[in-house]
């Protein structure tokens, strides 16, 4: 009897070549290919930011997956799913789209470098859109790997809102910490918006002061494993990761990370005790 393939869902705030080449976008591009070549099944999701050239990258809407509305902060927002292929990697990328949240010509900051006021709602919509699309696909992930703060609400929704859903009852969540801080804070109403999604204020206590660190702490609270994705990480986040005692994978360079991440997935799935390394 053949062994069941592990299914890994990648949820990334940016992926090259659809956006500029950054540390996160490069890993988000090459890691899924590596994991697929290891014999695992993958699905890859990212936001369809307005500056992504749909014609150049041959994006097209997936009608059978689009069409539902998600209510975010008491407002209806149509969910549009698009897809493109990276032929050289034999890999499809799904895009979460919505005119209200993603039609603007910048990703997370405006032309003056200021955070968009609704980034909290955009992030909630994005991860909710991924969850609803995966449900429609009927594709049950063994691992969800979240990359970037913009994916930080995925772990709490999976563990607190969708924990009884057959699609996610056994799913493990891994969150990568990156050097992707934003200045200031998200909307002060974040707690109420997350409560509206089905979590309690106690579940997301860090949302009372919705900074980048707070979002990452919420993500770590409900993840099964934490990856240090950048060489330089906010020391407060490292301290918190060690304090809560989750399995941690230390930073790996470009020649090491693919193999290390693959092994880490197995360790998290098998609930092995991963040594918490000293990052001081």
Q: What are phi and psi of 70, to 5 degrees?
A: -110, 135
Categorise residue 221: left if φ over 0, alpha if ψ from -120 to 50, beta otherwise: alpha
Please state, in angstroms and rounded to a whole number, the distance separating the CA atoms of residues 184 and 86: 36
Share of the chain above pLDDT 90, in %: 90
pLDDT at residue number 160? 96
Please state, in angstroms and rounded to a whole number, the distance separating the CA atoms of residues 12 and 29: 9
Alpha helices in 138-248 (DSSP H): 154-156, 190-196, 212-221, 235-244
pLDDT at residue number 277? 43
pLDDT at residue number 278? 40
Q: Which residues contact 9 (CB under 8 A, 6 or more apart)?
A: 42, 43, 45, 130, 134, 139, 141, 143, 144, 145
Please state, in angstroms and rounded to a whole number, the distance separating the CA atoms of residues 205 and 98: 29
Higher per-residue confidence, 30 vs 67: 30
Evaluate if residue 18 carries a pLDDT over 80. Answer: yes
Please tell me the least confidently modeled range out of 62-71, 168-177, 271-280. Answer: 271-280
**Which pLDDT band holds residue 4 (cuts at 50, 70, 90)?**
confident
Using one digit for the tens of pLDDT, what is the confidence trace for 152-207? 999 999 999 999 999 999 999 999 999 999 999 999 999 999 999 999 999 999 99
Tokens encoding 167: 């699609």
User: Please, what are the domains in the chain?
Assistant: 7-269 (3.40.50.2000)
pLDDT at residue number 259? 94
Cβ–Cβ < 8 Å for 215, 186: yes
Using one digit for the tens of pLDDT, what is the confidence trace for 74-84? 899 999 999 99
Evaluate if residue 221 carries a pLDDT over 60. Answer: yes
pLDDT at residue number 274? 42
Q: Which residues contact 255 (CB under 8 A, 6 or more apart)?
A: none
Cβ–Cβ < 8 Å for 125, 101: yes
Q: How far is CA 96 from CA 90, 93, 108, 122, 223, in A?
A: 20, 10, 15, 10, 22
Using one digit for the tens of pLDDT, what is the confidence trace for 82-130? 999 999 999 999 999 999 999 998 999 988 889 999 999 999 999 999 9
Q: What is the 3-state secondary structure (H, E, C) of 260-274?
A: HHHHHHHHHHCCCCC
- Tell me the mean pLDDT in the region 2-8: 82
The SS3 of residue 32 is helix
pLDDT at residue number 38? 93
**Which pLDDT band holds residue 3 (cuts at 50, 70, 90)?**
low
The SS3 of residue 135 is helix
Q: Are strands 41-47 and 225-228 parallel, antiparallel or unpaired?
A: unpaired
pLDDT at residue number 276? 40
pLDDT at residue number 170? 93
pLDDT at residue number 273? 43
Evaluate if residue 234 carries a pLDDT over 50. Answer: yes
- Tell me the mean pLDDT in the region 257-269: 95
Evaluate if residue 251 carries a pLDDT over 70. Answer: yes
């Amino acid at each position: 009897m053949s062994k069941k393939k592990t299914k890994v869902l990648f949820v990334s705030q940016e992926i090259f070549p659809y956006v500029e080449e950054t540390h996160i976008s490069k890993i988000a591009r090459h890691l899924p290919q590596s994991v697929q070549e290891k014999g695992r099944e993958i699905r890859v999701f990212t936001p369809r930011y307005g500056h992504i050239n749909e014609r150049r990258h041959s994006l097209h809407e997936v009608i059978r997956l689009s069409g539902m509305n998600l209510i975010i902060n008491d407002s209806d927002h149509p969910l549009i799913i698009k897809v493109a292929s990276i032929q050289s990697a034999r890999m499809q990328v799904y895009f979460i789209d919505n005119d209200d949240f993603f039609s603007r010509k910048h990703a997370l900051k405006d032309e003056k470098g200021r955070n968009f006021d609704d980034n909290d709602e955009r992030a909630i919509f994005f991860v909710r859109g991924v969850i609803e699309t995966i449900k429609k696909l009927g594709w049950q992930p063994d691992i969800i790997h979240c990359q970037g703060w913009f994916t930080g609400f995925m772990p709490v929704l999976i563990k607190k809102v969708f924990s009884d859903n057959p699609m996610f009852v056994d799913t493990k969540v891994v969150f990568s910490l990156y050097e992707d801080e934003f200045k200031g804070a998200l909307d002060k109403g974040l707690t109420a918006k997350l409560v509206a999604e089905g979590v309690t204020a106690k579940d997301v206590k860090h949302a009372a002061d919705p900074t980048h660190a707070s979002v990452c702490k919420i993500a770590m609270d409900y993840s099964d494993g934490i990856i240090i994705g950048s060489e330089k990480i906010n020391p407060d986040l490292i301290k918190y990761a060690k304090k809560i005692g989750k399995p941690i994978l230390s930073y790996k360079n470009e020649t090491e990370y693919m193999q290390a991440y693959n092994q880490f997935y197995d360790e998290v799935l098998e609930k092995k005790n991963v040594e918490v390394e000293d990052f001081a």
